[in-house]
Structure 1
């Protein structure tokens, strides 16, 4: 567990070109940022520790006769099953010649119907809120637990996806909703989805855990507590009988601000609690407020502290009126209102090609909001991502670590908690930190990028429209109207299936792309369902262009605010999109310019206006740049300040990228682009298979789109660049910075629909490639 970081006051910010209160040509004032004492976080601790009485867990094991359990499946029987040393406490555990085994219920079914194992009760909901199953699923399966009374099913957990493996594993179902139940259940059922040929069950444990353990990971606070609407906030658990206390300095112009709420799963029907907040000084000064806890998931509150006369005070939060009361106190802080607080904004537009910005003048799209941003700052025309996949790309951007070193190559392996992130750097410097993302797999649990953010808004299922995401970002800024803010906004609309809003639909395609009389020149393997009946392969790109226009129309609402225009703003993308080049249709597979070239626009107070740089850069440098612009150049972080590219004679470094699932790696240097395939692969969107360790070489000076492979004509250059790329891959840090993500069936289906979850992938080991490999492909260029 990472040590808690010290709470800091906001630093004095030395923004380049922002030393006075001048006004630019567009009327935006170039102003000093927030004073150093504008915000201070308040740390809270329980007093006393909540008296939680732990009930011994109840553990159930299958009997040799199975009864009284019942099984709805083709066959079921009990026999010894391979176990681990950790299973020694299970009755019937045996160790023979070094091989451990335990009695297990084996459920076998060759069909595709769901299976059920029913265990008779009674089960008192007051005695448990977590079910732990010791099971094995030799094939991929979904599992859920359900409880019934004689009247029928009354409660079922969400289904959990279990990866196929022979070994035993513990599958945990957290059930805080049990606090709503009163009467005992008559039976417990373990249900599978029927995708596999069976399941192995060794033990069922019912345990009672403190409620806060379901809200805060690893017991570390303050941490993110998730509400039902997908908005998480960083806070502290507060229970009846266990007040929270903290210390604060109450200046005359300072107020205490915080949010409070009860996540829906934790609401109790035993009463309506009241939140009492008291701040008292040693000399007898006192401020007290009572706040009802209503139906809203989060309520904002402020407490004026002027009556305390500037003395140091103890603040106390406590719940009253409900013996089982529980809530979260989020983002407690002292703030001094300032007129023009600092604002640092990062926007990532998913699947946004680098050549689709109106300011480039190629006529592909109309993006007046982005053009205006470029007009008051710098447009980097030759920026590339370090991956063609969403989460790996974003993790690199927010950590300053390349995919080579994080080894996060998919959209379901969260970043480990002990890696410093850009959000943490700004939070430690006294900024409020907000994130609004538009897809579930960038949410805190799936990506690990919630660390450092005070708030994260992410959809729990499906994608969120840019209009809603921008509205949430504006609401977050309004909540922090007088406080420094670091805000990340992610929009997803440009991603397939390219279905623009009605006002933008067919903007670039007035005809009928499904007219059966048209000839159909399509060389791909298949048409996606959303393009069934298509007769013109140019139609998806036309709709994609309209999506870009729509995104811009929504971003205009945010980019046009005075606060944002007076701050630091960076716009980029995680990757691009391909529309047939290299046999890649309507996807961002492979490491060609279509998938790697991304827009990058940067504006800040005092920036050179309307500059267009063609120097090759990478968005790996985003974090370092924003920290330097905020005067936080002493904060350790990877990358280099992008402003290096504005200097005369700037010499770019080689650019490296790694594809999703570790399929390929690439290097660009001196106007040449080399691709090295690390595994045999052929994603469904790709026409031709790629062969393990084959290389491709392109001269981007004469072939900017990388359409002609010249590796055979340039063997010496191909050999030297391949050697450099293999050497770079060999310098990777050991081990992965990603963890094994848990995919629900719904999340798995969503990722598969977006093209992010194939039927097979590659396992990233300690080596990306064996430098001594002697296969035919490697020998040709060694």
Structure 2
């Protein structure tokens, strides 16, 4: 048998038809879901990209590996930690990847006989490039069973879908640059704006309509859907589809203005941590199955090892999905613990009914110390119940604290270690501010903070006054 393991970077679960979305973003992904099993409550225990993928390929959460942040110089992964591609390679699989995570950390290239770097001259990686490299390799791979990892980035910022995809999601009678539309003001006035100005907004022009930004995201998802269709058609042409387990997963989702997060993937809200997970394996998995219970990304490694007949290491945090796939269980976990340490530092826990988020450093955001949400009555997580239900909040916080201490087993908390040197994404903003003579405190504490360009202009005027 073969495995094609596909990371759909920044793909939000509830933006897919199979997860209930009404706009036509995902006709082909929905088809794949109808031919296999869909997990309704799959969670990314650690976000964003670097920590999520580390968990996926080790079967261990960040507190176990020590990798809890993204873009941090403190992150390291010992070579003694077992790695999914390495285990498959040792078992006789030809292992290959079309990916660029190696540029983040060296361990993402471990275990591959063939590693095809998908990066080009631009940070935005087109799904066509992924398909070209993947299909070229598939056509010459030989007869050995294989594991192929593909990493698609299309829904990630900057949102630059081909023009023909946009009309399906945005009224062409509207002008996304209409100066009378002020719906983008909060995004342009946010503390994180200096970073996104250069990595997102400048590539799109002076957009004034927030709905246009959301439409661009949807268009990117539909573009990705077409690329997956092309890949699947190539599998059929090569005669590989029947004997290949196809695994589609999101590493994290995307906030589309919710919780004052503007087209980015931070915050332990379901928009970012409830990810799509779909598995198709013809003649082995019945089509149309839906798993309603809690599962998490670290469950993927033991699931693939079991399918390949490889012994599952006994020290994994993940559990095999096969009982849930076969209808013998509703999920793999009674609760899922959550963590982030990039823009902000926070931990959380959910049992599928309630979620508690505890924030230790809010970074460029304004967050209460604790947030408690009733996910059944308030799926958008808009009503914080922490002060109204303090006993439940205390109970859930105790669970988080006990879980952390249990995982650490006396080791230093890597999140606290990161906080001592500063959050990585704050440093990114500080670097940009420094280019204009601004400090973090000047920017964050400015009582009339508005657009970044206005702040730069005010700073320049103040400097000119000092020089006179």
Q: Shorter-normalised TM-score: what interval?
A: 0.7 to 0.9
Matching of residues 691-706 of structure 1 within 5 Å:
694-706=369-381
Q: Deviations over 1:715-751 (max 9, x none)?
A: 111001000101111123436999xxxxxxxxxxxx9
Alignment-derived partner of residue 451 in structure 2? none
In structure 2, C-alpha distance between the alignment counterparts of 1:625 and 1:502, rounded to whole Å: 39
TM-superposed deviation, 1:565:
4.2
Contact 1:415 1:447 in 2 (8 A): no
Higher helix share: 2
In structure 1, C-alpha distance between the alignment counterparts of 2:248 and 2:78, rounded to whole Å: 26
Q: In the alignment, does 2:168 pair up with 1:507?
A: yes
Q: In the alignment, does 2:294 pair up with 1:616?
A: yes
Q: In the alignment, does 2:346 pair up with 1:664?
A: yes
Tell me the secondary structure at the aligned position of residue 285 of structure 2.
Answer: coil
2:34 maps to which of 364, 375, 382: 375
In structure 1, C-alpha distance between the alignment counterparts of 2:310 and 2:48, rounded to whole Å: 29
TM-superposed deviation, 1:648:
5.2
In structure 2, C-alpha distance between the alignment counterparts of 1:401 and 1:635, rounded to whole Å: 11
Alignment-derived partner of residue 144 in structure 2? 483
TM-superposed deviation, 1:539:
1.0
Tell me the secondary structure at the aligned position of residue 206 of structure 2.
Answer: coil
Alignment-derived partner of residue 442 in structure 2? none
Alignment-derived partner of residue 678 in structure 1? 360
- The more displaced of 510-519 and 536-545 is 510-519
1:428 maps to which of 65, 90, 101: 90
Alignment-derived partner of residue 323 in structure 1? none
Q: Deviations over 1:337-385 (max 9, x none)?
A: xxxxx21111001100011222234223432321222121101121111
Structure number with the bigger relative contact order (C-alpha 8 A, sep ≥ 6) is: 2
In structure 2, C-alpha distance between the alignment counterparts of 1:756 and 1:476, rounded to whole Å: 39
Q: In the alignment, does 2:61 pair up with 1:402?
A: yes
TM-superposed deviation, 1:644:
2.7
> Structure 1 residues 489 and 591, CA, compared in 2 at 3 Å: closer, same or farther?
same
In structure 1, C-alpha distance between the alignment counterparts of 2:140 and 2:53, rounded to whole Å: 26
TM-superposed deviation, 1:667:
0.5
Alignment-derived partner of residue 389 in structure 1? 48
Tell me the secondary structure at the aligned position of residue 168 of structure 2.
Answer: coil
Alpha-carbon RMSD across the aligned residues, in angstroms, is 2.6
Higher strand share: 1
Matching of residues 33-432 of structure 1 within 5 Å:
342-408=1-67, 409-412=69-72, 413-432=75-94
TM-superposed deviation, 1:503:
2.8
Structure (1 or 2) with the larger CA radius of gyration: 1
Q: Deviations over 1:73-92 (max 9, x none)?
A: xxxxxxxxxxxxxxxxxxxx
TM-superposed deviation, 1:436:
0.8
Q: In the alignment, does 2:302 pair up with 1:642?
A: no
- The more displaced of 390-399 and 447-456 is 447-456
Contact 1:444 1:451 in 2 (8 A): no
Alignment-derived partner of residue 518 in structure 1? 181
| TM-score relative to the length of structure 2 | 0.79
> Structure 1 residues 574 and 500, CA, compared in 2 at 3 Å: closer, same or farther?
same
Matching of residues 417-566 of structure 1 within 5 Å:
417-437=79-99, 439=100, 442-443=101-102, 446-458=105-117, 459=119, 462-509=123-170, 510=172, 511-520=174-183, 522-524=185-187, 525-526=189-190, 528=197, 529-530=201-202, 531-560=204-233, 561-562=235-236, 563-566=240-243
| TM-score relative to the length of structure 1 | 0.48
Equivalenced residue count is 396
Contact 1:657 1:665 in 2 (8 A): yes
> Structure 1 residues 649 and 607, CA, compared in 2 at 3 Å: closer, same or farther?
closer
Contact 1:349 1:490 in 2 (8 A): yes
In structure 1, C-alpha distance between the alignment counterparts of 2:266 and 2:136, rounded to whole Å: 35
In structure 1, C-alpha distance between the alignment counterparts of 2:85 and 2:330, rounded to whole Å: 29
> Structure 1 residues 397 and 649, CA, compared in 2 at 3 Å: closer, same or farther?
closer
Matching of residues 723-762 of structure 1 within 5 Å:
723-733=398-408, 734=411, 757-759=428-430
Tell me the secondary structure at the aligned position of residue 420 of structure 1.
Answer: coil
> Structure 1 residues 698 and 361, CA, compared in 2 at 3 Å: closer, same or farther?
closer
> Structure 1 residues 557 and 731, CA, compared in 2 at 3 Å: closer, same or farther?
same
Q: Deviations over 1:18-72 (max 9, x none)?
A: xxxxxxxxxxxxxxxxxxxxxxxxxxxxxxxxxxxxxxxxxxxxxxxxxxxxxxx
